[in-house]
A and B are shown apart, each in its own frame.
Chain A
Amino acid sequence: MSDSNSANAPSADPNAGKTPLVEMRDISIAFGGVHAVDKASCELYPGEVVGLLGHNGAGKSTLIKILSGAYSRDSGSIFVDGQEAIINNPRHAKDYGIETIYQTLALADNVDAAANLYLGRELLTRWGTLDDAAMEAETRKVMNRLNPNFTRFKDPVKQLSGGQRQSVAIARAIHFNARILIMDEPTAALGPAETEQVGQLIHQLKQDGIGIFLISHDIHDVFDLADRVTVMKNGAIVGSAQTKDVTKDEVLGMIILGKCPAGAIPGPGALAD
């Protein structure tokens, strides 16, 4: 497949001169001698969708879990709005407006939608007790906007369908004024209609100036949604490109071979020529 852009050098960076919403610099983490992430750097601008691609085990999820505070990095630094950020646990990340929708959804299965939405950030009455009524009322509002068919507010989320659980996970991520949203395989468990819904939601969030990391091992999922793709292989960044500068085949080459095309900016993990 030939594309007029593919042979060209990377086109002008539309974000040139802007401060990234978040920048990860030289992040490394090892688990018992295995370098899961090795000196990886990437950045995300306001209103931008960055697809983070790579095989299973390429280090995408690990890199993103460092950003969301689930893992502590061995070295490297994270900047939010140009300021160095201290992120050592999920709570810190949330304080910076970094919200994550995990592949596993990370819901407490035995409690209802409202309890999950507010998990770790419960609304309290003036007596310091849980304000369940207020949380349920808010949850009804949020869910009505996100998924009007959702009615099972009293059931433990275990009893909900995959799509409904996904709605709860998404609602939880965007309800607290997220500025940086991480979506790990957001459509893996969804049917076509629900996948379409997630796509619409991403467009809408983009309009609001939220930066989104979209993680997937399947380029078809993200190619249409992402402004930029960053590809990882064996824990290192192969390269990064604006989606308009590269073809799907070229990105596939980056994922599988680690070969960086002319339209991309190569990273430390790129195959040497």
Chain B
Amino acid sequence: MSEHPEEFKESGLVRFLRATEVDTRLLGMIGALLLIWLGFHFYGHFVNGFGAFLTPRNLWNLSVQTSSIAVMATGMVLIIVTRHIDLSVGSLLGFTAMIMGVMQVWVLPKYLGLGHPMIWVITILVGVAFGTLIGAFQGFLIAYLSIPAFIVTLGGLLIWRGASYLVARGETIAPVDPTFALIGGGPYGTIGATGSWIVGIIVCIAIVLMLWNGRRQRVRFGFPTRPMWAECLIGLVGTGFVIGSVLVMNAYPWPKGIVKKYAAANNIEVPESGLFISHGFAIPILIAIAVGIAMTFLATRTRFGRYVFAIGGNPEAAELAGINTKKMTLLIFALMGALTGISAVIASARLKSATLALGQFDELYVIAAAVIGGTSFAGGIGTIYGAILGALVMQSLQSGMVLIGFDAAIQQMVVGGVLVLAVFIDTLYRKNSA
């Protein structure tokens, strides 16, 4: 074909990429992530005498720590794609967490009695509803009153932080409802070895079904299909990754103290060699994955998602095509608020309390995650999986530096530098690929 004059001199790698239709960006990000992981591990190994990064324990912790940022980053993608920004997510997270804290510690026990099984459900509903409403309100100001998103959410950053102070007079609200706390992870907030295998196998089956269905669709309409070996390879890599994650998560046992308590409570005899109880997947990471899947579906398979990207590509064209761009803007910010509410559940459940500082600077990590994941500030470009990987990169950097004992000042500087570097690389990449 005349469009591909370079075809005859294509290297094996290019042919491979075309056959598998793998995004080169995705490969680049995975490469960067592996580099970061290996770098921290071997730095620890050689300098501190112990490589702590690539251990089941650290990877499990990493998965839990990433969840809250990852959930918000999926929403931030849509915001940035439509050429807006949301600086208020950190404060909003703190505020909704505080509302939920007050709800479950001060308000609900009074009416339902302490430890009532509905407390955590009502609390979460209230929290997510609050987040959604506030997000929608900010979206309303941006869409219908034409105040720039930067200003509205900058105001929000101050207002919601101040509001969370007022709600609890600056107190730390603790302890949260025990069922609520499970959502934050911790030994009890996991699904165990068997549960992890079940989840893993379901995901593997889903991957195979999706590949099969995609191929069938292409055949049905007579579009070109990937070669069979490429389909199989993608399937193998995908399922291999899932099974690998299950193995790693299951390799991290409960601490001895908790095992002893659990055994005593359930009349299990602990053998001489100790009892190996796996953590398995933590509940927060399962929530993050579920949100990631739902958001990917929303972004790529629905009208809503199509409109988000069309607005980002050319707002005027979207308007002329009959898309209600104002309503879309309001909905996108409402969705961001809802996701922030979910993140607030995860974050405060993990701390088992609502503190005044909760979520501080989260907006920066969330925006950084989206941008590192390939979301373009020029609008119209971004992926959900990219943002989740971006969140993982940010969190890996941060916890890696903690593990090898860098101090907080250096951590901040590194994270800032990486953000700028990532955007620079992104710019180079777009120049070359355009």
Binding site for B on A (CB under 8 A): 68, 70, 89-91, 94, 100, 102, 104-111, 115, 119-122, 124, 128-130, 133-134, 136-137, 151-152, 156, 158-159
Contacts and interface: CB of A to CB of B under 8 A. Distances in A.
A1 to B, nearest CB: 40
Interface string B312-345: 1110111111110000000000000000000000
B1 A102 contact: no
A129 B298 CA distance: 9
Interface of B: 1, 3, 217-218, 220-223, 297, 300-303, 305-306, 309-314, 316-323, 379-381, 434
13 contacts: A100-B320, A102-B320, A105-B317, A106-B316, A108-B309, A109-B314, A110-B314, A121-B322, A122-B303, A122-B306, A151-B1, A151-B3, A158-B313
Contact of A90 (B300, B301, B303, B321): B321
A129 B319 contact: no
Contacts of B300: 130
A90 B223 contact: no
A127 B412 CA distance: 46
A119 B321 contact: yes
Contact of A94 (B317, B322, B380): B322
A130 B310 contact: no
A110 B217 contact: no
B317 A108 contact: yes
A108 B218 CA distance: 25
Given A124-B303, A128-B302, A134-B221, A106 B313 contact: no
A110 B303 contact: no
A85 to B, nearest CB: 16
Given A111-B309, A130-B303, A133-B217, A106 B322 contact: no
B310 A119 contact: yes
B306 A90 contact: no
Contacts of B302: 128-130
Nearest to A127: B301
A91 B322 contact: yes
Q: Please give me the 9 A-B residue pairs with the lowest Cβ-Cβ distance, nearest first.
A: A110-B313, A110-B380, A91-B322, A108-B313, A120-B321, A106-B317, A108-B310, A120-B322, A119-B321
B221 A136 contact: yes
A207 B302 CA distance: 38
Contacts of A68: 320
Nearest to A122: B303
B221 A137 contact: yes
B170 to A, nearest CB: 46
Contacts of A90: 319-322
A106 B3 contact: no
Contacts of B313: 108-111, 156, 158
A158 B312 CA distance: 13
B25 to A, nearest CB: 15
A133 B320 contact: no
A119 B217 CA distance: 22
Nearest to A149: B2
Contacts of B297: 129
Contact of A129 (B3, B223, B301, B322): B301
Nearest to B318: A108
Contact of A106 (B311, B314, B379): B314
A243 to B, nearest CB: 30
Contacts of A137: 221-222
Nearest to A128: B302
A139 B220 CA distance: 15
A110 to B, nearest CB: 4
Contacts of B314: 106-110
A152 B1 CA distance: 11
Contacts of A89: 322
A102 to B, nearest CB: 7
A210 B301 CA distance: 34
B136 to A, nearest CB: 22
Contacts of A134: 221
B321 A106 contact: yes
B1 A109 contact: no
Nearest to A90: B322
Contacts of B1: 151
A128 B302 CA distance: 7
A119 B319 contact: no
Select the residue from B218, B222, B313, B319 with max chain A CB neighbours within 10 A. B313
Given A109-B314, A130-B305, 5 more contacts: A100-B320, A111-B310, A130-B302, A130-B303, A151-B1
Given A108-B313, A110-B313, A124-B303, A133 B223 contact: yes
A120 B309 contact: no
A68 B316 CA distance: 14
Contact of B317 (A119, A129, A136, A156): A119
A68 B320 CA distance: 8
A151 B3 CA distance: 9
B3 A115 contact: no
Nearest to A94: B322
Contacts of B380: 108-110
Nearest to A125: B301
B308 to A, nearest CB: 11
